[in-house]
Amino acid sequence: GGIITQTPKFLIGQEGQKLTLKCQQNFNHDTMYWYRQDSGKGLRLIYYSITENDLQKGDLSEGYDASREKKSSFSLTVTSAQKNEMAVFLCASSRDNSYEQYFGPGTRLTVL
Amino acid sequence: GEQVEQLPSILRVQEGSSASINCTYENSASNYFPWYKQEPGENPKLIIDIRSNMERKQTQGLIVLLDKKAKRFSLHITDTQPGDSAMYFCAASPQGGRALIFGTGTTVSVSP
Which amino acid, one-letter code, is at A89? F
What average pLDDT score do residues B74-81 get? 97
SS3 letters across chain B? CCCEEEECCEEEEECCCCEEEEEEECCCCCCEEEEEEECCCCCCEEEEEEECCCCEEEECCEEEEEECCCCEEEEEECCCCHHHCEEEEEEECCHHHCCCEECCCEEEEEEC
Strand partners, B36: B46, B89
Do B89 and A45 make contact, defined as CB atoms within 8 angstroms? no
Query: Do A68 and A53 form a contact (C-beta atoms < 8 A)?
Result: yes
Residue of chain A nearest B51, judged by CA positions: A98
pLDDT at position A55? 96
Do A97 and B31 make contact, defined as CB atoms within 8 angstroms? no
For B38-76, write each residue's pLDDT tens digit.
998 899 999 999 999 999 999 999 999 999 999 999 999
Other beta carbons within 10 angstroms of residue A76's beta carbon come to 22
pLDDT at position A4? 96
Tally C-beta pairs within 8 A across A and B: 50
H/E stretch holding A106: none
